[in-house]
Amino acid sequence: MNTDSVVSVRDLQKKYGSVTALDGVSFDIQRGETFALLGPNGAGKSTTIEILEGYRDRSGGTASVLGIDPGKGGLAWKARLGIVLQSSGESGAVTVREQLTHFASLYPDPRSVDEVLAAVGLEAKHKSLIRTLSGGQRRRVDVALGVIGRPELLFLDEPTTGFDPEARHQFWDLVRSLKSDGTTILLTTHYLDEAAQLSDRAGVIADGRLVASGAIDEIGGADVRVPIVSWIEGGEKRSERSTEPGAFVAALARRVGEPVGLEVVRPSLEDVYLGLVGGGAEVSAALDLVSTSSTTASSTTASSTTDAEGVLA
Amino acid sequence: MSTATIPALPAGRTFRLGATRIAYEVRGYFRQGDTVFFTFLFPLVMLTIFATAFSEGDFGKDADGNAVTAAAFYLPAMLAAGVLLSGLQNMAVDIAMEKSDGTLKRLAGSPLPVFSYFVGKIGQVFVTGTLQAASILLLAAIVFRVPLPTEVERWATFAWVFVLGVVTSAILGIALSGVPKSGKSATAVVIPITLVLQFISGVYLSFTQLPEWLQNIASVFPLKWMAQGMRAVFLPESFEVLERGETWDLPGVALVTALWLVFGLIAARLTFRWIRKDS
């Protein structure tokens, strides 16, 4: 266990009755780092984050958050956390400013209310009752309440769901500024671009297991990023991975002449992710080609080529 | 790992935050139109209806031979109803809603002590209940010309019956808030309870006119005793013979209410959770 870990999880288990929600999840988050948990709905992201927030008890394994077992964290421990839950539906009979001022009063060293209002872009709405705000604006209030206590560790559970693109970019700027203040952040998200924009490292959870973790541009390993060359030969679609696609295509052209239906695709982050979580059967089939290089795989590249980033110019 | 030593929070913050919560809660209360109507204004509306509808009715005479008006007769009953609504109904619905809409989950993740939260809730009941009682008394005195007592002892009785009643009612509301399965069902679970209690406890119907067995059932619950205590304050002495056992039985009022307070404290302590873990 790294001594500078703000969050350290080993072999985390969670069972609901006979259903296993988490099965041996382990990861560390270093001080000042932003770590993203990716995964499909029901994979165990929220269960993991809620165990670390102290909302749920784990069934097994160890967890340490700011050096404390989150199942036993007291008020002084909570004072150092910021929590943005996945959903909130409070009656909202207070104004934005009243709510922020109130929550600021709960913490020993809060941020200034005006500073936080500005950071989440709610200055113009500070006198509005929360119940009159739009969904996206209410989400900003949630984020504001999460950061008002100047947390050392911030949990963001799908923070930008329901944001328009502009609000999402503003939110990213806010997270970057929190990061530059030294805040450690654990983020769950569905959006791969969000994870790529914000996180230093990411972990992918599928079926209660951490199937990959690492820097966002290395996740899943180098092999899954090897470009895929596909062409039609003898009426059959063929695919092969090659670390030198140019040379491969040149050799192919010498052998068969101008290849029919030639495509060279570098798997995008999304392809890698879908391959990891098994969500895109076709893509994962394509990624399985690594070991069986000359296997015919019909229609495998079709989904990959729809991603413009994945196509080599 | 140096992070294991966590700086202590400043001492005395539990009470300071409790006071902050009272102001926050009271402000929120008056911004919820439905609670204001169904808990705050309801006894005022009912007093107005009874005072008007039964203005020709015969409610007896005081020792000097002056007729007791419908408004005077119903004033103690509406004060008792107000204590029940502001305390039990308000708390049970309010906390059940906060449980289901995520308010409590958010608070559970913050460094707010549970005790401060309850200070805020009970303070909210105390402040709104006091304002409500004052409004009922003003309405009765100014609009319906009900003569209010002048003796200090009667107001002293009012003070303890009211304070004990409000606190007990609030605590029982906190205990009851765990019963509804969702915020939406909270009013459906809680309002029938308070409504039935009001009918059998001498709030809307004269208690001694109820059948004996129903009186016995009602005597188990605190509202009957709170209403009786309020009658001791506001009705003429000559009305005491109309009570069960021909006495106001103030020691009984204190005893039964206090027993419910203790029961409520234990039940609230055992059942209250910020969130239902693993639900």
CATH number of the domain encompassing residue A76 = 3.40.50.300
Beta carbons of A98 and B31 less than 8 Å apart: no
Q: State the pLDDT at residue A305.
A: 37
Whole-number pLDDT of residue B6:
66
Average the pLDDT over A64-74 and give the result. Answer: 93
Across residues A168-184, what is the average pLDDT?
91
In a mutational test of the B interface, the residue from A30, A105, A130 whose CB has the highest number of chain B CBs within 10 Å is A105
List the single residue in B with minimal CA-CA distance to A7.
B3
Q: Are residues A194 and A242 in the same domain?
A: no
Instruction: Supply the pTM of this predicted model.
Output: 0.84
What are B's interface residues with A at a Cβ cutoff of 8 A? Answer: 1-4, 6-10, 17, 20, 24, 27-28, 31-32, 97-98, 101-103, 105-106, 108-113, 275, 277-278
Number of folded domains that form chain A: 2
Residues on chain A touching B8 (C-beta within 8 angstroms): 76
pLDDT at site A312: 34
Whether residue A304 is predicted with pLDDT greater than 50 in this model: the reply is no
Q: Is the pLDDT of residue A295 over 50?
A: no
Q: What's the whole-number mean pLDDT along residues B100-124? A: 94
Question: What average pLDDT does chain A have?
Answer: 84
Cα separation, B226 vs B210, whole angstroms: 17
- Do the Cβ atoms of A95 and A128 come closer than 8 Å? yes
User: Are A131 and A239 found together in one domain?
Assistant: no
Question: To the nearest whole angstrom, how far is the Cα of B121 from the nearest Cα of chain A?
Answer: 15
Do residues B169 and B87 touch, judged by C-beta distance below 8 A? yes
CA-nearest residue to A21 within chain B is B278
Look at A106 and B112 and tell me if their CB atoms are within 8 Å.
yes
- Res A287: pLDDT: 44
CB contact under 8 A, B110 and A149: yes
Mean pLDDT of B111-134: 96
The pLDDT of residue B17 is above 60? yes
Candidate from A120-124, A293-297, B259-263 with smallest mean pLDDT = A293-297
Interface mutation target, options B5, B6, B31, B116, chain A, most CBs of A under 10 Å: B6
DSSP letter string, A172-193: HHHHHHHHHTT-EEEEEES-HH
Confidence of residue B11 (pLDDT cuts 50, 70, 90): confident
Average pLDDT over residues B151-163: 96
- Which residue has better confidence, B99 or A273? B99
Nearest to A62 by CA among A25, A114, A15: A25
Task: Test A129 with B106 for CB contact under 8 angstroms.
Answer: no
Within this chain, do residues A94 and A207 fall inside the same structural domain, yes or no? Answer: yes
Structure confidence at residue A279 (pLDDT): 53
Structure tokens at B156: 């002293």
Examine the fold and report which residue of A215, A234, A266 is the final residue of a domain before the chain moves on: A215
The structural domains of chain B, with segments of one domain joined by +, span: 13-271
Residue A98's closest chain B neighbor by CA? B24
Residue that finishes a domain, picked among A166, A196, A215: A215
Instruction: Looking at the structure, tell me whether residues A173 and A292 fall in a common domain.
Output: no
Q: What is the pLDDT of residue B196?
A: 95
**In 3D, which of B201, B198, B231 has the Cα closest to residue B216?**
B201
The Cα–Cα gap between A132 and A122 comes to 13
Q: What is the domain range of residue A25?
A: 5-215
Among A6-15, A185-194, B23-32, the least confident range: A185-194
All residues at 6 or more sequence positions from A308 whose CB lies less than 8 Å from its CB, including other chains: none
- Cα separation of B2 and B100, whole Å? 38
Does the structure show a pLDDT above 70 at A92? yes
Q: Are residues A66 and A134 in the same domain?
A: yes
Residue A68 and residue A15 share a domain: yes
Distances (CA, A) of A44 to A7, A206, B185: 17, 7, 30
Q: What is the pLDDT of residue B5?
A: 58
So what's the pLDDT on residue A168? 87
pLDDT at A116: 93
Nearest to A103 among B7, B110, B275 (CB): B110
Contact residues on chain B for A16, CB-CB shorter than 8 A? 278
Q: Which of A184, A215, A246 is the last residue of a domain?
A: A215
- Statement to judge: residues A113 and A258 lie in one domain: no
Q: Does A2 touch chain B (CB under 8 A)?
A: no
